[in-house]
Amino acid sequence: MLNLNLTAHSSQPQYMQLYTQIRDQIRSGGVPYGSRLPSVRSLRLQMNISKSTIETAYQILLTEGYAVSKPRSGLYVANPLGVKPYRPSKDSGSAPGEHPHSPPSPTSEPFSIDFRPSAIDEHSFPVRIWRKMLHDALDRSPDKICKYGDPQGEHSFRSVLAEYLRNSRGVVCTPEQIVIGTGIRYCIGVLSKLLTGIGPVAFEEPGYAPVREHLISNGFQIAPIPVVDQGISVEELDNSPAQAVYVTPSHQFPTGRVIPYPERELLLQWARKRNAYIIEDDYDGEFRYFVKPIPSLQGLDRDGRVIYVGTFSKAFTPALRMNYMVLPLELVDKMKNVQYLLDGPSRIDQWAMESFMEQGHWYRHIRRMRKIYGKRHHRFIETIRAHFGDRVQITGHNAGLHIQLTVKTRQPSEALVRLAAEEGVRVYDLPEMWMKPHRSEHPQIYLGFGGMDENGIDKGARLLRKAWEGIWD
C-alpha cells in the first residue's frame, strides 16, 4: 500500500522522510482514507529502520490529524468527513503557487509578575548582528538611499522571503504574490479594497478582537463562528452566509487550538465550493513543541483561495513593525488598481532583513528561539501542574507562547484576575475576544510564558496558588 524510499543522502532525518512520504500519499489519495497503516514491527522489518524512527513519524501523523489510533487495532488513515483526495489533472502544467497577537495593554497598576500572552523573550534579540546588517544595508545601497522603493516591498527581499516560506511553512508562492507590510491593520486596509463588495467575513468565536475590530472599521460585516476542539467549526461556517473567513489555524488565539489536516481540507473545500477566501493568520506558526510546525493552509490550497499573513513580531521583535501577506494570483491582478494604498516599511529595514536571512542568521535565530521557548514551555507546564495538579486543565499548549487554563472553580474569571492582581500577578481572562456574551462552566484564564524566565515562572505560580487558595469547589 505504501511506496516508501528512504535515503541516507537526504538533508532530512529518516523519521521526517517517512512522515513526509506517508503524508503526501494520504493527501494524493494513494493511501485510501480509513485504511490501516502498517504496524511498527512490520514496517521495521520491511524497511530495516529503527523502531523509534517509525514511532516518531507515526506520532507526527497522529498529532497533525492524518491518522487516528484505534485501541488494540492499530493506526488508520483519518477520514476527513467526505473530503475527496486531490488528484492533479493530466493537463495541469504548473502548481497553483506558480501562476502579533496580544491582549489589551497592561494598566499602570504595578505587577511583579505579568503573564502577558504577547510577551517575547527580551534578552534574545541579536543586537550585534542586527546592527551589522543595518550597516551592511547602508553600505551596499548608497545609490538607493535617497529614492523611493517598490511600494509592494523590495523585490530582492520578497524573493528571499518566498524561499524561506516555502522551506519552513510550505507556502508556495512567487515574489510577485508577496506584499511587505507594517502589520495586520495595514494588510486589512489593503484587503478591504481588494475584496470590495464581498459578503460577510466569518470570524473565530472567540477570536483576536483587534483584528475583528479592524475588519469592522474597514466596512466588513462579521459573522462569528464558534471554535470547537478541531478549530473553527466548518459545519457552522457552511451554514453561514460568509464569503471569507479569518482563521489562526496553527495556534488559535486565544484557545490555542490547532486545526488538524482533515479539518483543513474541509475548510479548503468550503472555500472552493463557495468561491470564498480564507485569511490565514500564521502569527506564531514557528513554535511547536512536540512535532515539526504544521504546514500552512496556503500550502494545501490548490485553488487560489488562501490569503496568507505572517509576521516577524513573534519570532524576532514587534519593534521592527514588519509583516507580509501572500496573495492568490487573482488578487495580485486586482492589486494593480490599488497601488496607491501600498506603502511598506523602511527600505533600510527590508535590506537588513534580507541580508539577515541570506546569511543564515534568521535560521539560526529561529532554531535558538525554538530551543529557548521549548525549555521554557516545558518548565512552565511542569510548574503549573506541580502547584495546581488536577484543579486546573491546561489546553492550547502544543504550540505558541501562551496556554489556556481552565480553573475548576465556580468563581468567575473576573474574580480570579482580581485575586491574582492582589498578589501582584497579572493574568488574563480576555472577555473582549468574544463577540457575544459567554460564560463557561469553569473560568478560563490565559497565561503567556514567552517573556518569563525560570525564576519568574516559579514565583508567578507560587503567588497564583496563594491568591487562589480559597476558590476551590
Q: Which of 37-51, 119-133, 147-161, 190-204 is the least confident region?
A: 37-51
pLDDT band per the 50, 70, 90 thresholds, residue 80: low
Considering the domain delimited by 127-360, tell me its CATH architecture. 3-Layer(aba) Sandwich (3.40)
> CATH 3.90.1150.10 occupies which residues in the chain?
113-123+364-467
CA distance 221 to 203: 10
Q: pLDDT tens, 173-206?
A: 999 999 999 999 899 999 999 998 899 999 999 9
Q: At what angle do helices 413-422 and 454-467 cross, to 10 degrees?
A: 110
Residue 384: DSSP 8-state: H
Question: Residue with C-alpha cell 512522515?
Answer: 19
Average pLDDT over residues 37-66: 84
CA distance 160 to 44: 39
pLDDT exceeds cutoff 60 at 89: no
Is the alpha carbon torsion for 77, 81, 87, 88 positive or negative? negative
Please state, in angstroms and rounded to a whole number, the distance separating the CA atoms of residues 261 and 22. 13
In 49-176, alpha helices (H):
51-63, 127-140, 155-169
- Cα end-to-end distance, the chain, whole Å: 53
Q: What is the dihedral of CA 40, 45, 51, 55, to 10 degrees?
A: -30
The answer to whether the CB of 118 falls within 8 A of the CB of 100 is yes
Task: Tell me the per-residue pLDDT of 355-376, one tens digit each, with 9 for 90 and over.
Answer: 999 999 999 999 999 999 999 9
Q: For residue 17, what pLDDT band results from cuts at 50, 70 and 90?
A: confident
More confident residue, 426 or 34: 426
Q: Which pLDDT band holds residue 354 (cuts at 50, 70, 90)?
A: very high
Which range has highest mean pLDDT (30-39, 146-155, 429-438)?
146-155
Provide the pLDDT confidence category of residue 96 given band limits of 50, 70 and 90: very low
The mean pLDDT of 338-355, rounded to a whole number, is 91
Task: Give CATH 1.10.10.10 domain extents, the chain.
Answer: 14-77
Residue 181 phi/psi, 5-degree rounding, is: -125, -175
| pLDDT beyond 80 at 406 | yes
**Global confidence as pTM:** 0.79
The residue among 426 and 47 whose pLDDT is bigger is 426
Q: Which residues contact residue 192 at a Cβ distance below 8 angstroms, ignoring those fewer than 6 apart? A: 218, 219, 220
CB 29 within 8 A of CB 86: yes
What pLDDT, on the 0 to 100 scale, is given for residue 101?
42
User: DSSP assignment of 320-359, as one string?
Assistant: G--EEEE--HHHHHHHGGGGGG---S-HHHHHHHHHHHHT
pLDDT mean over 405-426: 91
User: What percent of the chain lies above the pLDDT cut of 90?
Assistant: 51
Q: What is the pLDDT of residue 290?
A: 66
3-class secondary-structure state, position 178: strand
pLDDT band of residue 79 (cuts 50, 70, 90) is low
Under the banding of pLDDT at 50, 70 and 90, the label for residue 87 is very low
CATH architecture classification, 14-77: Orthogonal Bundle (1.10)
Domain with CATH 3.40.640.10 in the chain: 127-360
pLDDT of residue 144: 86
Q: Look over the chain and give the mean of its residue pLDDT values, rounded to a whole number.
A: 86
- The mean per-residue pLDDT over the stretch 254-263 comes to 88
- 113-123+364-467: what fold? Aspartate Aminotransferase, domain 1 (3.90.1150)
Q: Are 460 and 379 in contact (CB under 8 A)?
A: no
